[in-house]
Structure 1
């Protein structure tokens, strides 16, 4: 990064300007300070620490980070060094724009490895999200693919989609950074790709892949197969295949909903090449839902899946519902509580790195044992009001 007047240094040589993180935040040590020469007026660790604390306390922009630091300077100096005062908003932005985003993403893995080392038996949902506020003059935006541990409510990893590519190419790269042995990976229709299925099986995991029209005629063939109840009964009775059906009924949020899941392991009607190409394929699944809203409207939806799991209807129904946790408990929270869609960081890799820091902050808030029933917004308010609670969320060790 080029040296600017605001970066010129009157540093105390005894201050560690390349590090300076407090004990307990070793996960950030994988990030290299991107500054060079005299562009090191403020300790790198202090900038990361201020940013994380500010996010946990409800501050969402680099300008907010500065306001937080000015208001909490005495508390901050208990944990980090501020030899030249509080960094300005442009300093925060320049540093986040220059950090290697792959190194930053490793911090998520470091955090999760400590609190959730084993994913066996868990559902890992993969989904893409566009950072709308990152839109540049050429209309391009940053797109992030995330892996979400549905049962623990944690982001496991993230990867940006290459500017000249799409989510399909990012998913296999993301999978390589996860220890998925024994887990089940669910992906929406964009991830229903043969190469992705192969990568999941090679990782010793199972898959549940949403099937839509992007797979040529396969979606239509599976839909037609399930719409013939006589054919299903015949195969279950005469061919020795398994056909399982289960129902679920829910009432709440102003609606009554019924869900029906049908799953079978009868696949011999599919061409041999299709069965070979979809490595590990064991079942095909249909999930039908009907919701009666309080205003009298009715919403119906039918989804189809390819699965490497045995034909167990209730399990598939629960997994298909749990997948949407990445939308409801991660993406929605980032947009509504952390204002991610309004974030206007557009230079360098700032959007991607700040997105990663938000997910680390969300992970910490999710794992907070002190106020487990409090919503994320409420936890951020308490963290802003109570420094001891903020210290507990981060895991700072008392001095």
Structure 2
């Protein structure tokens, strides 16, 4: 392997830069916030998918995490992490891998939102352990999860409780409603409303005589501003807060200075005849996420260059113009480096095989994320 460049300016582009000082600050703040509320923080690993990031988010314990893929679960289990939730509804074809994870971990949990998943677990019992499961609720995200105010909530909780090879632990939800908001005040109200919904579900299940040990809620916007009512939860599971991004900043989850990731790109072409310059970073370096949101700054924000706007991307090309007037190509010399704050850091980081960790202008290391599913 080639030696690590000393300075950011020496790096090949495009590449993902991670400001370690901001990352540590973001993690410490979230850990302290939920310590003060008396609520367990179970961070989601999907944003970074690295051992180093997991260490920081769990305050060095390597305990209580959520993952979005079984590849992540295996990666973290192989590296000493434990008490892991696989954060999507499980299906029967995944159970052979899940059994191995149960053998490797003292605690490995699954999620379900339908009867068939419980029947599949019943058909595939483990020798010495019960499958431990969370019922996923849909409280407005319109993704996976059983409808929170429907009759099936109690029916599914009862089914999981009555199957001998299954242990029902509690309820879990992630709502994407907060991502449509544009102020920290609105997000705080949403956090209160989401908390009321999941606590109402908990009460309904308990009134049916079914114990609910864990009540988990989480998305980075709500967890970043938090309402005092969230102290009634047992755990939260945000993930994006380790990096944040321009989307989170526009929501009110963070300040711009909290964004810990940038994509470094270089100017490779001048096109004054069509009023643009071209960068070496296309959608495989930045992702298309947010492209159709009609944001005033587009899907990316350029450091120190508020006049620039990313107007189009192909796989390896990023076409950039100015927000008004004619672009002065001489202000952006060929081979010069520009820094782009992404709209969605999770989707952007997922495109990169390595992250360059820096403090100030100095490159101090690399993180390598797990890939695949």
TM-score (norm 1): 0.31
Q: Which has the higher contact order (CA 8 A, sep 6+)?
A: 2
TM-score (norm 2): 0.33
Specify the structure having the higher radius of gyration (Cα). Answer: 1
- Structure number with the higher helix fraction is 1
